[in-house]
Structure 1
Amino acid sequence: MPVAVRTLLVVLGDQLAPDHPGLQGLDPTQDHLWMAEVAEESRHALSHIARTALFLSAMRHFARERRDDGFSVHYRHLGERPEQTLNDALRADLEHLQPQNVRVLQPGEHRVLRQLQSACADQAIPLEVLDDPHFLVPLDAFRKWAKGRRQLRMEYFYRKQRTALGVLMNGDEPAGGQWNFDADNRGHFGRDGPGLLPPPLSFPPDALTRECLDDIARHLPDLPGQADGFDWPVTAQQAQQALDDFIQHRLPAFGTYQDAMWTDQPWLYHARLSTALNLHLIHPRTVIDAAEQAWRDGHAPLAAVEGFIRQILGWREYVRGLYFHFGEAWHEWNALEAEQPLPALYWDADTSMQCLHQTVGQTLQLGYAHHIQRLMVTGLFAQLLGVRPAAIHAWYLGIYVDAVEWVELPNVVGMSQYADDGRMASKPYVATGRYIQRMSNYCAHCPFDPAEALGDKACPFTTLYWDFLDRHRDRFARHPRTALQWKHVEKMDPDRLQAIRDRAGELRKTLAQGDRI
């Protein structure tokens, strides 16, 4: 006999706030929760084991806590039934439960919303999609800000939100007399490296997480990566502890070294809070307020705090707004006509290029790399090589533990690959291997010379950089922010430029064949 259900609240794996807005007004005696682990969510973009484990563990902890609160939670475990898609799983349970209506927060991926809409439509059950107050800028507010603007630049969006929300403000003026301290936050470690680093707080797997890892090994044995060192926060309590640890031990030096990289040092002074934020285990305002208070208490310098807050109140909110503003067009954009396949080294880290060997190897081990490793190592190489945006997007979406499409897709297609034709970034972020040499010690252990574009020791980044400038000369040579870079190409000896073209073509052919560089 069907269960009498009034409202069925669908709780997605990245919407796990203890005070989930969809719970407001629900009556545990007649309103139920629904959650599902489905294999498709780990396979439509092949997911890192640690990413899948993080989502499943956080979901199971959330479900247990809501049951303790008195709610009935209809929970589908991985492998429990043969249905493989979210659509199929929800449709099957709607046939049984027959709720009067279904409620869900705005999903962070268009594909997911379509599946929910389809399942509810098949059963003629109304679907209510709620705004997500976990974010500080409602989508309607972003649309109003964007309306009529020729360019949607993050810096202007960020300043507006600082003012509107009173973050790092002294009256009507920004704290410290300037909006942006980015120039103070580009430090790199000296020859001796970062020295003794404060290790981030670790959260080893509990019994529930270990069950998740066992289920993944049984039902999804083909996932890439490792989970031996899994230690991410999976509850709201752990997320708060992770925030407290970062504020106390790493925030003061975060600003100076946020762009730095170092061999065998994945964490450095980074927060490791993006997973907790993106799964809604902690609210962004909680994080922002804690950082600002650290500055006001004299615990952390303003440049570090502003740089950290800009990533959350600036980039995070801005990127979400862009994702929904442009909709599914993000998937189609390929402004630079990049068509190379993703090299095999992105799946095995088998390369002599130490920056990629380190960054991809770390990523496969942990499901993590910080923002400069993503933008200026894995992302930069894909852009210079000319990898199809859809291919590098799928890799980022599946391989990083904090990846949800609303944040990952614009960052990759726009910021990293410039495939959006400048809708997000005013210019492509391209550089030779010298940038990596300046910001890390990777090149000290590499057989390639970042200063060389030709010869046996030529750095592939540097060769491909000059080839990129040559291939896209017509597009960028007169761009106000890139003209100086392209002038160097115009001054280059034609024979040398042709040799660079030839070498770049050899690199592309080698990597497309799956061979090692």
Structure 2
Amino acid sequence: MKTIRLILGDQLNQNHSWFNTIDNDVVYLMAEMRQETDYVKHHIQKVVAFFLAMRNFKKDLSHQGHHFIYLELNDPNNLQDLEKVISMCIKENDVEKFEYQLPDEYRLDQQLLQICESLEIKSSCVDTEHFYTTRFELKDFYKGKKQMVMENFYRMMRKKHQIMMINDQPEGGKWNFDQNNRKKWTGQPAIPSEKKFNQDVLEIIQEVKKANV
């Protein structure tokens, strides 16, 4: 079954289970869209960083053998609207199924639900696999409870993932050290210097300016 899988700009997880196997019937769709640059005003560093990360992600996975449709910002085939881009790619590639990863943003979540309802082919969604929690884990945990104390959820997650735990008790004998964290910083330990990555982003900057983003 020919399948298109959508990857959004904040879903660049090479360890996602989607990429465990190379399938010639699966094509990954990525697009740099005005829909995403224009719905609110973004700092140019954020826009450039997103596009550079998306392009590097596509490049790396293509070298591994995965198949991509990638629409850059000024590509004449880029319709700059998510629903139009998806519909065009489905039609041009005789796709039988559309898949996507659950978005982290409500706006996109609702848009993708509406898009799937309008499609004439099968569709489904999967977890992004980049959070400790599943989408409804917090909601399910507090279901039926009268008090929503974050500390209780925090402790459950510590136990579930065995984070700083010895058997069923917290390492160090305490669940948190909030009192210590409220103390004034004395200058020690020293603040580490930032990590710098040298990247030539002039080409993307010129593309962003050309598009009047």
Q: Is the 8 A contact 1:94 1:123 kept in 2?
A: no
1:71 paired residue among 57, 63, 66:
66
Name the residue aligned to 2:102: 106
Q: Is the 8 A contact 1:100 1:126 kept in 2?
A: yes
Name the residue aligned to 2:210: 218
State the SS of the aligned residue for 2:14.
Answer: coil
Residues 119, 194 of structure 1: CA spacing in aligned structure 2 closer, same or farther, 3 A cutoff? same
State the SS of the aligned residue for 2:28.
Answer: strand
- Deviation, 1:83, is 2.3
- Deviation, 1:25, is 5.0
> Structure 1 residues 67-76 or 135-144, which shifts more?
135-144
Q: Whose RCO is larger (CA < 8 A, sep 6+)?
A: 2
2:73 and 2:165 mapped to 1: Cα distance?
Answer: 47
Provide, for residues 167-222 of structure 1, a one-character-per-residue CA deviation record: whole Å limited to 9, x for no partner.
Answer: 111222111111111111124356xx78974312211214xx4432222222244x
| Matched positions, count | 212
Name the residue aligned to 2:39: 44
Q: Give TM-score scaled by structure 2 length.
A: 0.88
Name the residue aligned to 2:165: 169
Q: Is the 8 A contact 2:4 2:90 kept in 1?
A: no
1:54 and 1:15 mapped to 2: Cα distance?
Answer: 14
2:192 paired residue among 186, 192, 198:
198
- Deviation, 1:39, is 0.9
Name the residue aligned to 1:122: 118
Name the residue aligned to 2:55: 60
1:116 and 1:195 mapped to 2: Cα distance?
Answer: 46
State the SS of the aligned residue for 1:35.
Answer: strand
Residues 179, 196 of structure 1: CA spacing in aligned structure 2 closer, same or farther, 3 A cutoff? closer
State the AA in 2 paired with 1:201: K
Q: Is the 8 A contact 1:91 1:122 kept in 2?
A: no
Residues 151, 53 of structure 1: CA spacing in aligned structure 2 closer, same or farther, 3 A cutoff? farther
- Which structure 2 segments of 5+ residues have no match? none
Name the residue aligned to 1:34: 29
Name the residue aligned to 2:7: 11
- Deviation, 1:114, is 3.0
State the AA in 2 paired with 1:127: S
State the SS of the aligned residue for 2:172.
Answer: helix
- What is the root-mean-square deviation of aligned Cα atoms in Å? 2.3
2:128 and 2:196 mapped to 1: Cα distance?
Answer: 29
2:185 and 2:140 mapped to 1: Cα distance?
Answer: 42
Task: Please tell me whether Structure 1 or Structure 2 has the larger radius of gyration of its CA atoms.
Answer: 1
2:36 and 2:67 mapped to 1: Cα distance?
Answer: 24
Q: Give TM-score scaled by structure 1 length.
A: 0.38
Name the residue aligned to 2:138: 142
- Which structure 1 segments of 5+ residues have no match? 222-517
1:9 and 1:34 mapped to 2: Cα distance?
Answer: 6
Residues 179, 197 of structure 1: CA spacing in aligned structure 2 closer, same or farther, 3 A cutoff? closer
2:184 and 2:198 mapped to 1: Cα distance?
Answer: 31
1:195 and 1:220 mapped to 2: Cα distance?
Answer: 45
- Deviation, 1:117, is 3.5
Q: Is the 8 A contact 1:117 1:127 kept in 2?
A: no
Q: Is the 8 A contact 1:57 1:212 kept in 2?
A: yes
Name the residue aligned to 2:16: 20
- Aligned-pair identity in percent equals 28
Q: Is the 8 A contact 1:90 1:116 kept in 2?
A: no
Q: Is the 8 A contact 1:11 1:35 kept in 2?
A: yes
Residues 128, 199 of structure 1: CA spacing in aligned structure 2 closer, same or farther, 3 A cutoff? same
Q: Is the 8 A contact 2:4 2:98 kept in 1?
A: yes
Are 2:80 and 1:84 aligned? yes
Q: Is the 8 A contact 2:11 2:128 kept in 1?
A: no
State the AA in 2 paired with 1:43: D
State the SS of the aligned residue for 1:135.
Answer: coil
**Higher-strand-fraction structure:** 2
State the AA in 1 paired with 2:51: L
- Deviation, 1:57, is 1.1
Residues 155, 34 of structure 1: CA spacing in aligned structure 2 closer, same or farther, 3 A cutoff? same
What is the 5 A alignment of 1:275-354? none
Provide, for residues 342-368 of structure 1, a one-character-per-residue CA deviation record: whole Å limited to 9, x for no partner.
Answer: xxxxxxxxxxxxxxxxxxxxxxxxxxx
Provide, for residues 371-392 of structure 1, a one-character-per-residue CA deviation record: whole Å limited to 9, x for no partner.
Answer: xxxxxxxxxxxxxxxxxxxxxx
1:122 and 1:95 mapped to 2: Cα distance?
Answer: 14
**Higher-helix-fraction structure:** 1
1:119 and 1:92 mapped to 2: Cα distance?
Answer: 13
1:101 and 1:70 mapped to 2: Cα distance?
Answer: 21
Residues 184, 172 of structure 1: CA spacing in aligned structure 2 closer, same or farther, 3 A cutoff? same
- Deviation, 1:31, is 1.3
Q: Is the 8 A contact 2:159 2:165 kept in 1?
A: yes
What is the 5 A alignment of 1:421-500? none
State the AA in 2 paired with 1:8: I
